[in-house]
Structure 1
Amino acid sequence: MLVRALHEPDPTHLARVVAEMQQMGPPTIEAIDCGTYLAALEGSHRLAAAAQLGLMPTFVLRDQDEVIEVTEYAWFDEVFFPDPIYTGRQVVERLQAVSAPVYRFG
């Protein structure tokens, strides 16, 4: 399973997340199911930590046709998302404009 993160992790923050994940176990990540891959809506550092530790995250999947209120997410930016609501497909299209790592799980 391929999972596209939102952005590259910051090494200092990643080290803290890895330490926490060693105690807490695999993360839960919200993502859009794009058929051949998942597009994460959150958790770039948690994805990187899980990949580093060999853990399989639990994914809460959203559909490409599902309506998503983007103002709820930390990455929300009115320049890229002038409206508050988009379909999952529209969110993925806008987020793919930014270079981000892809992780393989399972």
Structure 2
Amino acid sequence: MHEWWRRIKVWPRVETCNGSVRGFVKWEGLKKMVEELMEGEMGKEVRKNVEDYGELARKAMEVGGGSSWCNLDALVNDLITGAPKEHVKELQCNQLIAFMKH
């Protein structure tokens, strides 16, 4: 797993009553963390990072050039033709675009 939640900081830690990783949390600590995520700088950073990852995901899914489509096309070509990826690389995206238009 890529631990995406750490990179976009959507898994903030709240101090527990006994200092352990698992356990009950103090009301004040939880309130502080929620306020920080809703109104503070951490929340702004989280929202910005989520927007950035969303844009990257949209680009990967673009028909005709996104990496997800090209990789799917490469897999289909390899399964159908048995040809190695490098032999069909130039045709991959074009074939998928033509298929999607029909």
Query: Which structure: greater strand fraction?
Result: 1
TM-score, shorter chain, exceeding 0.5: no
Query: Which structure: greater helix fraction?
Result: 2
TM-score between both structures, scaled by the size of structure 2: 0.27
TM-score between both structures, scaled by the size of structure 1: 0.27
Structure whose alpha-carbon radius of gyration is higher: 2
